[in-house]
């Protein structure tokens, strides 16, 4: 099975998982990226069985709308039931790196409002230590150089993601060569740099469930409290 087939398999498993947890009043949070896109496409099959969805990006909102799924404003829904999204890396504590698709800030906001965060990924995303994938940091444009210098002080090699403007009008610095031994601490420290909107570590609000696909099938990992 190639990686694309594994993404489809885990997206299909996520649909089965979601079906057991929703009713006509349920609001779903929807992530961004290729795995999330497969999930959106499958979700269309049950579009009449829930109230609507909050999207973590303009791209996902468009895709949901094309399938006839109502896109809701997070300010109106408040806390909602379940958020489904992919990841660039996950560890066994279900701490994540996200933001490969530059949607990290809205993803973090949507995750913060979800009672349950279900991460969907293929087995290549499971790592012992986060940080082989360059950590995305969303930055206010005028703070780009300042934030880059501060990230160097923390030990990383920040690289400007050329040509990318986030849905919030900001830029992305990807931090290379930055093994992350203490994800909660690093998430907090980077977020304290003036000019940072947020970074792609999801350790303070990790996933609750990780559906992980491999050639052998999809397994379910749950976060231990």
Handedness of CA 70, 75, 78, 83 (dihedral sign): positive
Instruction: Using the minimum distance from each CB to ligand 5RP, give the nearer residue, 33 or 158.
Output: 33
Write the burial class of residue 200 (CB in 10 Å: 0-12 exposed, 13-18 middle, 19+ buried): buried
How many Cα atoms within 13 Å fall on the side-chain side of residue 130?
28
Instruction: Using the minimum distance from each CB to ligand 5RP, give the nearer residue, 60 or 77.
Output: 60
Dist CA 148 CA 155 (whole Å): 11
At closest approach, how far in Å is the CB of 114 from ligand 5RP? 14
Window 20-39: residues binding ligand 5RP (CB under 6 A): 31-35
Q: Is 88 in the site for ligand 5RP (CB under 6 A)?
A: yes
Give the one residue of 6, 53, 89, 101 binding ligand 5RP; rule: CB under 6 A.
101
Of 58, 62, 95, 107, the catalytic one is 107
Dist CA 205 CA 201 (whole Å): 9
Q: Is 183 in the site for ligand 5RP (CB under 6 A)?
A: no
Residues that bind ligand 5RP (CB under 6 A): 31-35, 85-88, 98-104, 107
């Amino acid at each position: 099975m190639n990686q694309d087939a594994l993404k489809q398999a885990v997206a299909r498993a996520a649909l089965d998982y979601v079906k057991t947890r929703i009713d006509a009043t349920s609001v779903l949070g929807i992530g961004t990226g290729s795995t999330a896109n497969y999930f959106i496409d499958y979700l269309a099959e049950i579009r009449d069985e829930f109230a609507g969805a909050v999207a973590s990006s303009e791209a996902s909102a468009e895709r949901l709308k094309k399938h006839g799924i109502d896109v809701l404003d997070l300010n109106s829904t408040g806390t909602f039931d379940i958020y489904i999204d992919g990841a660039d890396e996950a560890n066994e504590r279900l701490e994540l790196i996200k933001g490969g698709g530059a949607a990290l800030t809205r993803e973090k906001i949507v995750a913060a409002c979800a009672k349950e965060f279900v991460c969907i990924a293929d087995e290549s995303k499971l790592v012992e230590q986060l940080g082989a994938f360059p950590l995305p940091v969303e930055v206010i444009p005028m703070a780009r150089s300042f934030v880059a210098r501060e990230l160097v002080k923390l030990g990383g090699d920040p690289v400007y993601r050329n040509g990318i403007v986030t849905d919030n009008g900001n830029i992305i610095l990807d931090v290379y060569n930055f093994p992350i031994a203490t994800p909660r601490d690093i998430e907090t420290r980077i977020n304290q740099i003036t000019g940072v909107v947020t970074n792609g570590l999801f350790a303070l609000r990790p996933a609750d469930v990780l559906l992980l696909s491999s050639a052998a099938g999809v397994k379910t990992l749950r976060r231990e409290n």
